[in-house]
Chains A and B, each alone.
Chain A
């Protein structure tokens, strides 16, 4: 086509004569169809503005408008840049408006083309989130029932445009669930597939919408059953995968339980099958990512997946994947939620690695046996270490996830992690990365590496971990603050004095106050735990109280007077009890009548846990073997404490009675304090209390943290033998209890929190833990 000629019809395009204009648009249509270069050139020339003008002109002929929409559709199908240019030219609002107008006029051919155009733009993935209202959505959904071409367009638009939870809700209210159910039953796979993507988009991370969708049905079959039908093995693979993604999302959003056969048999098996060697790379990557998401939380699903079809073995293949041959991309349509670029085969090895590491992370999250099988996977540790050191951020993140999952094993911490010196690249990631998600996950892992029995603890400390973590406590992201405090708490457990000093020095009392007034109760609890661990062993208590006694007492009063839950106050009382163990530190309490009154007050309030904690503190104060005990006893008796104790002796609460008997009367004195799960049944606590003979666990509760059921070996530095029950409690709580014969309460817990990223939906399910 020569330049003269091409100019010719473009001039005509601006003609006021509808006939000529139509002719010109027609010629334009033929010029741009199939030619990327021509599309680019037309867009560059700014012709889009004129086309949009033609669409919005009141008096435009319908045929002309249809022709214009055809041209725009063709342009949108070009490169993503072309679609972006169209969006920037203001195409979308006009199309939406035309669609609404068309609904009332019944312009079939025209609205079909408008829908096609919208579809093409949204499929390019560059369109902004549309401003939907109920009316517009209702219109769109009405179009979606027939004919097939409209169904396909509407499903695609919805699948790509539905991104926020508000949109999901709006879509549901406008009848999106019914439409999707209907589309799933379409005989045309061109409709079914985008309908599945749309369903996935609606369900993703949205419990309300998912639960509603799961109850919808079409033709007498509920949506989950329709999905299972589409997932059956004789269906096209992309269909199977898309249906599996939908069911996964429904499960994770809480609409289907993990033991539903549709999940544990059908979906899981389908996804594992998709990971096999004989599948395409994109299938394997998508299936792996989905599988990781599906099995992230449920121990049952992790168990099942780990034994299904040699999954762990199959995934080793992912790690070895090399950049594939530069083949033209297969024609496939991945879900817009998870879709990525699979065009560049150079990225394949990264994508495969990322997917495999995620799956390993999920599989090894809760079960030590599976974890050991994962760790034994050939080349896994090398991959993790290498990926940490030098890989793209998504792979790094997956590697840290995997490391985090594996760090829940004492055995691994002491062996494999030490062999591979994982702390080195991990620290490097922590110090260099800017991604909050990555740092959050890495700091969670660091918490576990800082457990006192971890050989990595020392070298990490040498790397300036204290300073770094104290810096993290000042971050705005609550997850980071939590992890940092948690790590510090673990670090302070039975730590040497210099470390404690270092923590106090770098953190500063100001920051402690700030953390104690943090709106996140978890951070508050961990900060109190940190204080408890800092204030342990007589010598340390005295030394620390000497320097910071005033601030610490202030902090405790702050907590005791604040509006806090019983668990928080219990922690504060435990700190007091620890302080009461110090020789000099006792005076800090004894000299503070306010505190003493508060303690007495807690002895009478109707909360057994607080009563116990307060009683412990008193019992430490009146411990007769220590210097100045008689004066303290006298003072307290004068204040009426003795009477209170006598009253408590008549308590009907057997636990309290036992404590009193053990601690107060038998002079076995100090509680060992430990943050553990308060979900521990009462009976167990009683039992434990008896076993430990004067050591009672102060149970606090870490909300929203799925704790790893870690099967751990006894730490060798533990001075006393553990009863099996102790270990059980450790497992139950995801934490380890270290009873000590006297002096100090210490807290250590294993950070098992997952980051609140895309994949995460933390749930409280400690009940399913087992030994």
Chain B
């Protein structure tokens, strides 16, 4: 009895955290064990005193007198069977039939008397070895199957979709024993009644004698067929049209321009959103995903005037991201200082604009902002940098010089990069920066190649540049440039100010506060990339920002924030988890992912 002093509830976590494959979990992939843990052993508490447990609470033996049926004793598993199992199954091996072999195997609800065999009471169901009868909440059994005894393996299965229970003997299916099981949660239960009776349970930790996997596959294919054949009232082809619409809005939303066009053509839909709109958004997305937040914000303001001004929280989010990118050394602001004189020309207007933004929060500031946007647009459009250097300060020049002195090797690299950047082709330029980011962040940027990789025309030149950078420069804050650092700090102060303004105007916002704190925390570390807050520097963190921005733009054009397709999928997932909570077993075989990936 010493063995069962160990609390068995510790078992599941032990399984999971060890990282070893968990066969029980694998049987029921749709069960969320945080909400509804799976039964993994017998409960050392929820049992009658005549029951003894051993072998990790998997072996049950009888230790009472076993004189009359009043000496019967049962034990329940630690947890009830989660509905999300869909089809639940456990097996019991009769190690010894003891004196009379009065053993019952089945299910019972919590609170059912444990001084009884399963099946005798309400909400209790059992199959008994001595007579082979099934007991459905009643003291009198019905003829059901063969008797069972020492050496037999009895399986008990519960179909949570049809609310039926079946048994198996030595791997042979005996047929349904109980129908219309109550909707309450049921526990695997065994009961023993005479001395010497010993049974071992297998909750799935070892392979079953009966092929339950095949039965699950059948259920799964059945549920899928039901889903696929679900009748849709589609009298006028509306359903079809709606589906087409969903697909095309999804493509448009994410800016898959060519695909969207092709899809619209092949389904003969109107392709009403202008291509330019997609292209604009794509451009912004690219900038944001490349970490060039300054330019991104600027482009947004140019193409969608008023958008950010009306959504200060979004603006704040973008700026915090810009700050993070500055720390990362990828933002054009910092890059410009550290690398390319021309780039600094182009992007220099934005910081000044930001310094204006928060301070003038009255209505006139909007106009003010507009003008600055126009200015910056001009500057970025201008082919020759000399005409647009009006905003350029002497300080910038100095800083640039200083940078060139301090790191020769890196300026070599930049020289190569800037060659394409001086042209109009921003795509090529983007690629440069991306490859840079890539080398810095150890390849975390997989996700964002996705959207526009088709635009990329890798040139040997660029790979060279990447190599140079990879060799010549370690990861340093703001690219290791003191001037850039300075600028970053200045920007940070502005950000702080903006946050205060926001708080005053829009009230407290925990999210914003947290965001800013996290971002500023980066400065506390010598090597922010390897700090506890270093995750912010991961390029993948650009994606939510990018999404939010994209959604805001679309919303401002009376288009959905999220594509209906994604909403639909999210809905479905939510419904599945709701089904699981409400005890609807079909959810076990309706995983959205598996259906989509089929």
> What 0/1 readout, one digit per residue, does chain A (512-547) give for beta carbons within 8 Å of chain B?
000000000000000000000000000000000000
Residues of B within 8 A of A310 (CB): 174-176
B217 lies within 8 A of A232 (CB): yes
CB contacts (< 8 Å) of B218 on chain A: these are: 233-234
Return chain B residues, CB-CB under 8 Å to A268. 172
Docked complex Cα distance between A273 and B221 (Å): 16
Instruction: Tell me if B214 is interfacial: C-beta within 8 Å of chain A.
Output: yes
Q: How far is the CB of B526 from chain A (nearest CB, A)?
A: 58
When each residue 252-278 of chain A gets 1 if its CB lies under 8 Å from chain B and 0 otherwise, what string results? 000000000000010011001100000
Stretch with Cβ within 8 A of B (4 or more), from A33-41, A301-309, A351-359, A493-501: A301-309
Q: Is B37 an interface residue (CB 8 A)?
A: no
Q: Which of B145, B172, B176, B220 contacts A265 (CB 8 A)?
A: B172
A32→B52 CA distance, assembly (Å): 80
Across-interface contacts of B174 in A (CB, < 8 A): 307-310
If over half of B's interface residues share one DSSP class (helix, strand or loop), that class is named, otherwise mixed; here it is mixed
Query: Could you give, for residues 484-520 of chain A, a 1 whenever the CB lies within 8 Å of some chain B CB and a 0 otherwise?
Result: 0000000000000000000000000000000000000
A189 CB to closest chain B CB, in angstroms? 14
B211: interface (CB < 8 Å): yes
Q: Any chain A CB within 8 A of the CB of B482? A: no
Chain A residue contacts of B217, Cβ below 8 A: 232-234
Contacts of B304 in A (CB 8 A): none
In the complex the two chains form, is A265's CB within 8 Å of B211's CB? yes
A309 CA to B218 CA, complexed, in Å: 17
Q: Using A234-B220, A234-B221 as known contacts, say yes or no to A308 and B214 having CB atoms under 8 A apart.
A: no
Q: Would you give the 0/1 interface string for A592-631, flagging 1 where the beta carbon is closer than 8 Å to chain B?
A: 0000000000000000000000000000000000000000
Contacts of B146 in A (CB 8 A): 307
Chain B 198-231 interface mask (CB, 8 Å, partner A; 1/0): 0000000000000100110110110000000000
Question: What is the bound-complex CA distance between A273 and B215, given in angstroms?
Answer: 12
Q: Roughly how many angstroms separate A307 CA and B146 CA in the complex, as a whole number?
A: 7
Query: How far is it, in angstroms, between the C-alpha of A76 and the C-alpha of B179 when the chains are bound?
Result: 51
Give bound CA distance, A268 to B173, whole Å: 10
Q: Is B171 an interface residue (CB 8 A)?
A: yes
CB distance from A459 to the nearest CB of B (A): 35
- Interface contact A269-B221, CB-CB below 8 Å: no
Task: Determine the distance from Cα of A234 to Cα of B217 in the docked complex, in whole angstroms.
Answer: 6
A295-316 interface mask toward B, CB cutoff 8 Å, 1 = contact, 0 = none? 0000000001001111000000
B211 close to A309 (CB less than 8 A): no
Contacts of B221 in A (CB 8 A): 233-234
CB within 8 Å for A304 and B220 given contacts A232-B214, A233-B214, A265-B211? no
Q: Are B215 and A269 in contact (CB under 8 A)?
A: no
| A265 contacts B171, C-beta separation under 8 Å | yes
Docked pose: A308 CA to B175 CA in angstroms: 6
CA separation between A309 and B169, bound complex, in Å?
11
In the bound assembly, the distance between CA atoms of A233 and B222 in angstroms comes to 10
How many Å lie between the Cα of A309 and that of B175 in the bound state? 4
- Chain A residue numbers with a CB within 8 Å of B175 are 308-310
* Neighbouring A residues of B173 by C-beta, 8 Å: 269, 272-273, 308-309
Contact A307/B145 with A234-B220, A234-B221, A269-B173 known, Cβ cut-off 8 Å: yes
Q: Chain B: interface residue count, which band? A: 10 to 19
- In this complex, how many residues of chain A approach chain B with their Cβ under 8 Å: the count is 13
Q: Which residues of the partner chain B approach A273 to less than 8 Å between Cβ atoms? A: 173
Return the CB mask of A218-251 against B: 1 if under 8 Å, else 0.
Answer: 0000000000000011100000000000000000
Please indicate the chain A residues that have their CB under 8 angstroms from the CB of B172 in the complex: 265, 268-269, 304, 307-308
In the complex the two chains form, what is the Cα distance from A265 to B215 in whole Å? 13
The smallest beta-carbon distance between A764 and chain B, in angstroms, is: 27
CB distance from B94 to the nearest CB of A (A): 16
> In the complex, what's the smallest C-beta–C-beta distance from B273 to chain A, in angstroms?
41
Chain B positions 163-179 with a Cβ under 8 Å from a chain A Cβ: 169, 171-176
Residues of chain A lying within 8 A (CB to CB) of residue B171: 265
Query: Complex formed: what's the CA distance from A307 to B154 in Å?
Result: 13
Contact of B169 among A233, A234, A272, A307 (CB under 8 A): A307
* Set of chain A residues within 8 Å of B214, measured between Cβ atoms: 232-234
A 620-652 contacts with B by CB, 8 A: none
What are the residues of chain B within 8 A of A265 when measuring CB–CB?
Answer: 171-172, 211
Docked pose: A269 CA to B174 CA in angstroms? 10
Residues from chain A with Cβ under 8 Å of B169 in the complex: 307
Instruction: List residues of B (117-167) whose CB comes within 8 Å of A's CBs.
Output: 145-146
CA distance A234 to B219 in the complex (A): 8
Interface hits, A295-350 → B, CB 8 Å = 304, 307-310
CA distance in complex: A310, B176 (Å): 8
Q: How far is the CA of A307 from the CA of B177 in the complex (A)?
A: 13
Of chain B, the residue at the smallest CB distance from A233 is: B218
For the complex formed, measure the closest distance between the CB of B210 and the CB atoms of chain A, giving whole angstroms. Answer: 9
Which B residues, 367 to 389, have Cβ-Cβ distances below 8 Å to chain A? none
Find residues 644-666 in chain A having any chain B CB closer than 8 Å to their own CB. none
Q: A232 to B220, alpha carbons, bound, how many Å?
A: 13
Q: Report the minimal beta-carbon distance from B86 to chain A, rounded to whole angstroms.
A: 14
B215: which A residues are within 8 A, CB to CB? 233
Report B527-564 CB contacts with A as 1/0, cut-off 8 Å: 00000000000000000000000000000000000000
Query: In whole Å, how far is A304's beta carbon from the nearest beta carbon of chain B?
Result: 6
Given the complex of chains A and B, what is the CA–CA distance between A308 and B172 in angstroms? 6
Output the least CB separation between A315 and chain B (Å). 13
A234 to B218, CA, bound (A): 4
Complex CA–CA separation, A675 to B220 (angstroms): 58
Docked CA distance A310–B145 (Å): 8
B145, B146, B214, B221 interface centre (most CB from chain A within 10 Å)? B214
A308 to B176, CA, bound (A): 10
Chain B nearest CB, measured from A225 CB (Å): 14
A232 to B218, CA, bound (A): 8
Residues of chain A within 8 A (CB-CB) of B176 are: 310
Complexed CA–CA distance, A268 and B174 (Å)? 12
Of all chain B residues, the one with the shortest Cβ separation from A264 is B172
Distance to closest chain B CB from A353 (angstroms): 22
- Least distance between A470 CB and chain B CB atoms (Å): 46
Cα–Cα, bound, A95→B218 (Å): 43
Closest Cβ neighbor of A276 among chain B residues: B175
Bound Cα distance from A272 to B217, whole angstroms: 18
| Chain A nearest CB, measured from B474 CB (Å) | 53
What's the nearest-Cβ distance from chain A to residue B141, in Å?
A: 15
Mask, B400-413, CB within 8 Å of A = 1, is: 00000000000000
Residue in A closest to B146 when the chains form the complex, CB atoms: A307
Closest chain A CB from B148 CB (angstroms) = 11
A232 to B217, CA, bound (A): 9
Minimum Cβ distance to chain A for residue B377 (Å): 58
Closest-CB distance, A77 to chain B (whole angstroms): 29
In the complex, chain A residues whose CB is within 8 Å of the CB of B211: 265
Not counting A234-B221, A265-B172, a sample of 17 additional A-B residue pairs whose C-beta atoms are within 8 angstroms of each other reads A232-B217, A233-B217, A233-B218, A233-B221, A234-B218, A234-B220, A265-B211, A269-B172, A304-B172, A307-B145, A307-B146, A308-B172, A309-B174, A309-B175, A310-B174, A310-B175, A310-B176
The 8 closest A-B pairs by CB, nearest first: A233-B218, A309-B175, A234-B221, A310-B175, A234-B217, A233-B214, A307-B146, A234-B218
11 contacts between A and B (CB under 8 A): A232-B214, A233-B221, A269-B173, A272-B173, A273-B173, A304-B172, A307-B145, A307-B172, A308-B172, A310-B174, A310-B175
